[in-house]
Amino acid sequence: MKKVIKKFGNSFTPSLKDALEGKFNQEEKQEDAKEVMKYYISEDLEEPFTQEQFEAKWTEFLSRLTDRPNLRTTLSNTPELQPGYKLLLKIGNSVQDEDVRLIKPELVSWLRKELRNTRIELLTQIEKQETTRIIYSDTERLQAMLEKNPDLKLLKQKFNLDFNP
Q: pLDDT tens digit string along 148-157?
A: 999 988 888 8
Asked whether residue 88 carries a pLDDT value surpassing 90, the answer given is: yes
- From CA 165, how far away is CA 156, in angstroms rounded? 15
Asked whether residue 130 carries a pLDDT value surpassing 80, the answer given is: no
Q: Which sign does the torsion angle of CA 78, 102, 17, 33 carry? A: positive
Q: Which strands make up the sheet holding 121-126, listed edge to edge?
A: 80-82, 86-91, 121-126
HSE, CB side, 13 Å, CA atoms: give it for residue 78. Answer: 13
How does DSSP classify residue 113?
Answer: H
In the prediction, which pLDDT does 44 show? Answer: 72
In the prediction, which pLDDT does 4 show? Answer: 58
Tell me the average pLDDT across 131-145.
82
Average pLDDT along the chain: 79
Closest residue by Cα to residue 74 from 93, 46, 48, 53: 93
Asked whether residue 21 carries a pLDDT value surpassing 80, the answer given is: no
Q: Give the pLDDT band of residue 140 (cuts 50, 70, 90).
A: confident
All structural domains of the chain: 1-30 (no CATH), 32-126 (3.30.300), 132-165 (no CATH)
